Amino acid sequence: MCFDAPSWYELVVEGRKIAGSAQTRQKGVILQHGSILQDIDIDELFDMFIYKNERLKLKMKEAFVEKAVAINDISDEHITISQMEEAFEKGFKKGLNIELKPLELTEVQLAEVEELTEKYRSDEWMFRK
Catalytic residues: 2
Q: Please list, residue by residue across 3-26, b when 16 or more beta carbons sit within 10 angstroms of its beta carbon and e when fewer do.
A: beebeeeeebeeebbbbbeeeeee
Q: Do 51 and 60 contact (CB within 8 A), yes or no?
A: yes
92, amino acid identity? F
Beta-carbon contacts of residue 125 (< 8 Å; ≥ 6 apart): 119
